[in-house]
Amino acid sequence: MNEKLLVCSSLTKLFGTKQALTGVDLTLGSGKIVGLLGPNGSGKTTLLKLVNGLLQPTGGSVMVDGRQPGVYTHNIVSYLPDKMFLNDWMKVIDLIRFFDDFYSDFDFPKAMEMLQSLGLSSTERLKTLSKGTKEKVQLIVTMARKAKLYLLDEPIGGVDPAARDYILNTILTNYSEDSTVLISTHLIADIERVLDEVVFLKNGELTLHDTVDNIREQEGKSVDQLFREVFAC
C-alpha cells in the first residue's frame, strides 16, 4: 500500500492566458478506484496529461510514486487517452504484439482473453473497425498492463451499454491493492457504484474530493444527483 501514489500540489496549467487548472491539491493512495468528474472543459484531460508527463505544469508539481513524470513513471502508469492513438494500418494482433514488446508489464494472454470476451477478431485491420470497437481495443491494451496507476480518459463514452458493463467488470476484476484507477467521465450514474472516491473539477479547480458513501450519507443523494445540482446549467 502506498498512501501517496499520486500527489498533486498547487498544480496549475495555463494555455496562453487561459487557466486550464488552478492550484489543484490532490493526493491518491493505492488500491482505489477514483472518478474524476466535471463538465466539458473543466480540466479533466489536462490533469491526466500532466500526470502522464504529456504536459508540463505552469506551476506546482505532480509526483507519481514519489517521482516526477518521466521514464520511471511511464513504466508504472497505463494511460488511455481521450483521442485515438492507433495506427490504422495495423491489425488488432499487431497492436497487441507491439504493446507486448513495448511494455514489460504487458499480459499478452489477458489481452487475448479480453479480445475474445468482447467478441473482437484479432486479424481485422484497425481502420476497418467502428469507433466504439476501436475504443474497446484501446481499452484492452491499456488494461492488459499490470500498472500501478491507470489513467482512463473517458473510457466508456463511446461504447454500447453491454460493453460498458464488461469494461466496468474488467476494472473490478482487475482491482488490486497495489494499483489505483483514475477514471475521467461524465457518465456518473453508470460508474458510481464501482468508485471509492470522486474528485469534482469545476473550471480548473478542485471543488470536492470525498468517498461515494460519505457523499451519499451527508447529502442523502447519489453522486450523480449531486453532480447535476453542482453543475446545473
Binding site for other proteins (CB under 8 A): 31-33, 165, 168-169, 172-173, 175, 193-196, 212-214, 216-217, 220-222, 224-225
**Toward other proteins, which CB reaches closer, 120 or 194?**
194
Output the smallest distance, CB 188 to other proteins, in A. Answer: 11
Name the minimum Å distance from CB 63 to other proteins: 23
- Of 32 and 148, nearer to other proteins (C-beta) is 32
Interatomic CA distance for residues 5 and 34, integer angstroms: 13
Q: Which is nearer to other proteins, 84 or 172 (CB)?
A: 172
Select 122 or 222, whichever has its Cβ closest to other proteins.
222
Q: Nearest distance from residue 14's CB to other proteins, in Å?
A: 35
Give the nearest distance from C-beta 83 to other proteins in angstroms: 28
**Residue 63 φ/ψ, nearest 5 degrees:** -130, 130
